[in-house]
A and B are shown apart, each in its own frame.
Chain A
Amino acid sequence: MPTLLQNRTIHIFKTNINDEPDVKAIASSLNDFSDILKWNVAIDDCDKILRIESSETEPEGFIRLINTLGYACEELNF
């Protein structure tokens, strides 16, 4: 379930974006994605959390994007 915070929707995903090279590999695609205002991957977390702040309220587009880039991505439930 996405959460609204200061007029942005925060999406939290569990991924297998494991290390810095993986983060570098997805960076330009995420930076260029117009709906994404801010993103980061907590690679020190065992769930390799991808956090996205967006004007978009639905998560599916982000999941598809990450899958296309070759990584697993599922919404983390509360």
Chain B
Amino acid sequence: MRTRDENKEQAIRQQAVELIVKNGLDGFSMQKLAKAAGVSPATLYIYYQDKEDLVLSLGTEVFNKMQQYSLKNFSAEMSFEEGLKVQWKNRAAFFLENPLEVQFIEHLRYSPSFKTISQTIKNSFKQEMGKFVHKAILKGELVQLPFEVYWSVAFSPLYQLMKFHTQGESYASSSFELTDSVMDQTLKVVLKALKP
């Protein structure tokens, strides 16, 4: 009988993420993964029912990792200004330290698997962020808005800056880097916009 080898399994999962980033979800198959990882397809099917099962498992892991990272040094008790600053710093750090995982999530975002993943991921993140926002509104630190409007103003500017950073350029300049000062400058504008 075979025994489960955790290191090997982790190496195969990492390889799967790399392949999906390189070839997209449609270009990814269990056969290609087996070849790249130097194992037989049968070995992969021992642990995963099919490609969908593997992608769901990878996606859930990456999402949980990302959300855990985003809650580092963060508390729902923080003032809105302080808390949003921690969120921006954490999200930017995760993005810069894990470019592969971030691209992987982008591949998933518009796939049918995404809905299943967002239903299975831990709710602690949503709860903590929800508490933070509600407290901020009660304390008069944050204007009350529909969720999508709030999120678009609070976080989309950061994600757009990260996109420019990945591209290494923007519409206006041939080189762009996301620095702390650029982030602080943008955050200031965002905080101002969200004040009641």
Contacts and interface: CB of A to CB of B under 8 A. Distances in A.
Nearest to A51: B45
B111 to A, nearest CB: 14
A42 B50 contact: yes
A76 interface: yes
Query: B interface, how many residues as a size bin?
Result: 10 to 19
Contact of B31 (A1, A45, A51, A77): A45
A30 interface: no
Interface residues of A, number: 17
A78 B50 contact: no
Contacts of B49: 40, 42, 51
B29 A78 contact: no
B30 A77 contact: no
Contact of A47 (B41, B47, B51): B41
A8 B45 CA distance: 14
A44 B41 CA distance: 13
Contacts, number: 52
B29 A45 contact: yes
Contacts of B31: 45-47
Given A3-B2, A78-B2, A45 B41 contact: yes
B138 interface: no
Given A12-B45, A51-B45, A44 B51 contact: yes
B46 A12 contact: yes
Nearest to A50: B45
B42 A45 contact: no
20 contacts: A4-B1, A5-B46, A5-B47, A12-B42, A12-B46, A40-B50, A42-B45, A42-B49, A42-B50, A44-B50, A45-B29, A45-B31, A45-B50, A46-B31, A49-B41, A51-B50, A76-B40, A76-B42, A77-B40, A77-B42
Interface of B: 1-2, 4, 29-31, 40-43, 45-47, 49-51
